């Protein structure tokens, strides 16, 4: 994999994807990385077909918001195609490089945001991921990372005003940003905020502590994206699949781990440390960094 402009990792099918020291430094400093072409155009087309089908199913079930938007948790079991995102070769090596091999995908959501055609209530959307973690883990001035999230953009958000993901580069190094007392009366975006501009198929890997927000979609394009969050196996799922988990047995060991398989949150796979699927997966690809504790 070659490295392009700041914050951008450029995967190539001719080279192994590795989490280089330069990319590690970039993630540590900026809090995010862009990966153009993480999904091929053909894969984007296939995902859009499934995305639209799921959206229509949720419409029929009366699950859309009044403005027609959809924010759907635990979507990966809605179609086998989504399982290919779990261990996407353009992104999983970067996640494992940062977090190590004792991880799984604990949370995911599918988003659809049609164009906004009229006024909408002013709402402060800036946040760090993690919810109660940000109140109950008492560390100053920086909370622990705990997880990373990958956004895969299926629609064209290469221009501002298309419901772009907004970020404040480097903001994961502080626990707070200035918030207006009455955002419903109007506010300016926080200092340093920038929109992520991305073509369809681009992935964005970001630290959960990065302050971010979704912007309004004032374009003619419906914004479509999926998000997968990865964390350590001793952090329990946010998503509830509400079904018999015997279906895990038919998946690859790596995908089983990434969907929460295993004896329990702190054990290895049940047959010895060397058989934990992602540990072997990383070793086979030369992704293990013996200087990083999470890789040992």
pLDDT tens for 256-293 read 899 988 776 666 665 555 568 898 899 999 999 988 88
Any residues with CB less than 8 A from the CB of 186 and at least 6 apart, and which? 122
In the three-class reduction of DSSP (H, G, I as helix; E, B as strand; rest coil), residue 153 is classed as strand
> What size, in residues, is the chain?
296
92-99 and 277-284 helices, crossing angle to 10°: 110
Domain boundaries, the chain: 2-291
Instruction: Compare 255 and 2 and report the one with higher pLDDT.
Output: 255
- Whether the pTM exceeds 0.85: the reply is yes
Looking at the DSSP bridge assignments, the partners of residue 207 are 148
Q: Which helix (H) or strand (E) holds 110?
A: strand 103-113
Sheet with 70-73, edge to edge strand ranges: 32-35, 203-207, 147-153, 223-232, 103-113, 70-73
pLDDT tens for 77-131 read 999 999 999 999 999 999 999 999 999 999 999 999 999 988 888 889 999 999 8
pLDDT at 204 over 60: yes
- Judge whether 110 and 54 are in contact, CB under 8 Å: yes
Band (1; pLDDT cuts 50, 70, 90): very low
Mean pLDDT along residues 54-79: 96
Q: DSSP letter at 250?
A: G
- Judge whether 208 and 202 are in contact, CB under 8 Å: no
Any residues with CB less than 8 A from the CB of 6 and at least 6 apart, and which? 26, 30
- Judge whether 164 and 225 are in contact, CB under 8 Å: no
Q: What CATH number was assigned to the domain covering residues 2-291?
A: 2.60.120.620
DSSP per-residue string spanning 166-234:
EE-TTGGG-S-----S-GGG--PPPTT-EEPPB-TT-EEEEETTS-EEEPPB-SSS-EEEEEEEEEETT
């Amino acid at each position: 994999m070659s490295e392009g402009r700041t914050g951008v990792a450029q995967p190539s099918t001719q080279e192994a994807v590795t989490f280089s020291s330069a990319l590690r430094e970039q993630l540590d400093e900026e809090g995010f990385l862009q990966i153009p072409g993480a999904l091929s155009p053909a894969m984007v087309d296939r995902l859009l077909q499934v995305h639209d089908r799921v959206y229509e199913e949720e419409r029929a079930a009366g699950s859309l918001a009044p403005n027609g938007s959809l924010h759907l948790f635990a979507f990966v079991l809605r179609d086998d195609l989504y399982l290919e995102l779990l261990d996407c070769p353009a992104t999983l090596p970067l996640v494992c490089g940062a977090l190590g091999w004792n991880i799984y995908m604990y949370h995911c959501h599918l988003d659809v945001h049609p164009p906004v055609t009229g006024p909408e209530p002013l709402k402060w959307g800036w946040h760090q991921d993690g919810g109660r973690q940000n109140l109950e883990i008492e560390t100053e001035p920086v909370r622990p990372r705990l997880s990373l999230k990958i956004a895969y953009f299926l629609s064209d958000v290469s221009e501002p005003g298309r419901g772009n993901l907004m970020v404040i580069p480097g903001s994961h190094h502080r626990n707070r940003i200035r918030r207006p007392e009455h955002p419903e009366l109007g506010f300016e975006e926080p200092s340093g905020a920038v929109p992520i501009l991305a073509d369809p198929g681009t992935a964005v890997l970001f630290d959960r502590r990065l302050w971010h927000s979704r912007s309004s979609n004032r374009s003619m394009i419906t914004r479509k994206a999926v998000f997968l969050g990865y964390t350590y196996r001793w952090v329990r799922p946010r998503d509830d699949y509400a079904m018999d988990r015997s279906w895990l047995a038919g998946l690859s060991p790596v995908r089983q781990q990434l969907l929460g398989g295993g004896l329990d949150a702190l054990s290895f796979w049940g047959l010895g440390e060397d058989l934990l699927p992602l540990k072997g997966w990383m070793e086979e690809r030369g992704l293990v960094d013996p200087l990083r504790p999470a890789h040992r």
